Amino acid sequence: MARARSSVLVTEDDPMMAEQLRWALKDEYSVRWAADRFQALDALKKSRPDLLLLDLCLPPENVPEEGFRILRAARAGGADTTVIVMSAVEEREAALRAISEGAYDFLSKPLDLATLRVVVSRALERQALERDNRRLRNELRDRHHIDGMAGISLPMQRVFEAIRRVADSPVTVILEGESGTGKEVVARAIHFSGARREGPFIAVHCAALPETLIEAELFGHEKGAFTGATGARVGRFEAADGGTLFLDEVACLPAATQIKLLRVLEERAVERLGSNRPRRVDIRLVAATNENLEKKVVQGEFREDLFFRLNVFPIRLPALRERVEDVPVLAEYFLKKLCEDRGLPARRFSPELLQSLMGRDWRGNVRELRNLVETIALLADGEMIGVGDLPPAPPRRDGFVPLAQVQTLGFKQTVQDFERRILLEAITRADGVKARAARDLGLDAAQMKYLVKKYSLWSGSDS
């Protein structure tokens, strides 16, 4: 398919000059003409041209300010109309001012038409390149960011692709991953990216509900169904009708509730407690767990038939340590959102701080990172947030000291921190008895005494 020709609007009060310009450009571009400020503003309003050839001194007042009004209108609202100013030699100062206000270039009158064609061609080539770059940036943003999630890592790209594939499907989805990996965020992304986005999104955290009330919460109840049921109540399934029901920590459901949940998924109908009348529900179910459901099935703690009903479209969410390259992306995303939501001045993380964050263990995953960003953003001073604003990192579970931390603190400080932590752990395990801790570490009494003094550890007992 042929590419549409670029559009050019010429503002020129001299009809002969305007015709010359039209003739010089008409073979390659779609050219329109405006003879004064009013016609120019009307043309800009009706259709945004790709390029504006702007004579600064136009009727009705024939002063440069007329042209500046048109320039500002052409650049308003983030429009990418490229502006080339045409000016007489004595208007050079005004033309330079136009460049500072967003014009691409200026040409002195009388115009050389060959030069005009070259300048127009280069301007439109640059504009096309900028549009392509903007389109690619938007595509990358859409690929690396979905409804509150951000990530450039391959594991997260797989998650984003899974969300896109399942969003418009009615199938049941189960989200698997450690606590803090963002399971509810993914559930919301599935809902609001799909055909049910106009319906309700109802989240239920099964582990937070008492076992005696969980069925009433999920399926609803009639008045008098149990002690304290002073009126009828709609359950979460009915509340989610036409939308999405998110069951978090589904592994915590009691056996009796698992049976009823299986029946609802099979029949797409619920019965309130105290009633035997089925009520049809149209829901998309998204379940989540941080436990191994297959293992719980083998152990007899979760129904196998319910597991198969839930495990239609599984999505595994990676732990943050499996996608460490996403840490800077997430940190900057959380900081930007925090500043916008709280009305704070824009803040930035230093490259050294972002490198340091990549070396942390992140036991709490994305949730822990978000909380840390909020803490340091509120406590730090200045636009740039540096390594000095970070609280000490908790020890890693595997005892590994990442290179990023060594580069941040320096080799000597990193070794000392590690040595002090080993001593503290050994003394704690020995109930404060340093002699026993020394034996566990293979140290003699003199070495232990020296290290305890070096690191100002508590006195404890010597034997």
Q: Using CA atoms, how far apart are residues 426 and 440, in angstroms rounded to an integer?
A: 7
How large is the average pLDDT for residues 239-266? 93
Whether residue 16 has pLDDT greater than 80:
yes
pLDDT of the residue at 291: 92
Q: Name which residue leads in pLDDT, 30 or 212.
A: 30
How large is the average pLDDT for residues 288-311? 94
Whether residue 174 has pLDDT greater than 90:
yes
pLDDT of the residue at 2: 41
pLDDT of the residue at 144: 43
Whether residue 22 has pLDDT greater than 80:
yes
Q: How high is the mean pLDDT of the chain?
A: 84
How large is the average pLDDT for residues 227-249? 89
pLDDT of the residue at 450: 84
Q: What is the pLDDT of residues 142-165, one digit of tens each?
A: 444 455 577 888 888 899 999 989
pLDDT of the residue at 384: 86
CA 282 to chain centre: 30
pLDDT of the residue at 1: 38
pLDDT of the residue at 60: 86
CATH 3.40.50.2300 applies to domain 7-139: yes
Domain spanning 150-318, CATH class: alpha beta
Q: In what order do the strands lie in the sheet with 82-87?
A: 30-34, 7-11, 51-55, 82-87, 105-108
pLDDT of the residue at 413: 67
Helix count (H) and strand count (E) of the chain?
Answer: 19, 16
How large is the average pLDDT for residues 166-195? 92
Residue with tokens 């055909």: 195
221 and 273 in contact (C-beta within 8 Å)?
A: yes
How large is the average pLDDT for residues 246-273? 92
Whether residue 300 has pLDDT greater than 90:
yes
Paired with 174 in beta bridges are 287, 314
| Residue 313 banded pLDDT, cuts 50, 70, 90 | very high
How large is the average pLDDT for residues 199-211? 90
CB atoms < 10 A from the CB of 371, how many?
13
Whether residue 3 has pLDDT greater than 60:
no
Radius of gyration of the chain (CA): 33
Single out the residue of 410, 311, 14, 337 nearest to residue 149, CA to CA.
337
How large is the average pLDDT for residues 68-82? 81
pLDDT of the residue at 429: 72
| Residue 414 banded pLDDT, cuts 50, 70, 90 | low
Q: Name which residue leads in pLDDT, 204 or 410.
A: 204
pLDDT of the residue at 267: 92
Q: Name which residue leads in pLDDT, 31 or 417.
A: 31
Whether residue 402 has pLDDT greater than 80:
no
Whether residue 439 has pLDDT greater than 90:
no
Q: What torsion, rounded to 10 degrees, do the Cα atoms 74, 77, 82, 88 define? A: 40
User: Which stretch of DSSP H or E encloses residue 349?
Assistant: strand 348-349
How large is the average pLDDT for residues 407-434? 70
How large is the average pLDDT for residues 450-458? 74
Lowest model confidence (mean pLDDT) among 1-10, 97-106, 116-125, 208-217:
1-10
Say which CATH topology domain 322-398 has: Helicase, Ruva Protein; domain 3 (1.10.8)
pLDDT of the residue at 445: 83
Q: DSSP letters of 173-232?
A: EEEE--TTS-HHHHHHHHHHHSTTTTS-EEEEEGGGS-TTTHHHHHH-B-TTSSTT--S-
Same fold? 150-318, 322-398: no
Single out the residue of 422, 440, 420, 421 nearest to residue 430, CA to CA.
440
Lowest model confidence (mean pLDDT) among 75-79, 116-120, 296-300:
75-79
Domain boundaries, the chain: 7-139, 150-318, 322-398, 411-454
Percent of the chain with pLDDT over 70: 88
What's the N-to-C CA distance of the chain in angstroms?
88
pLDDT of the residue at 142: 46
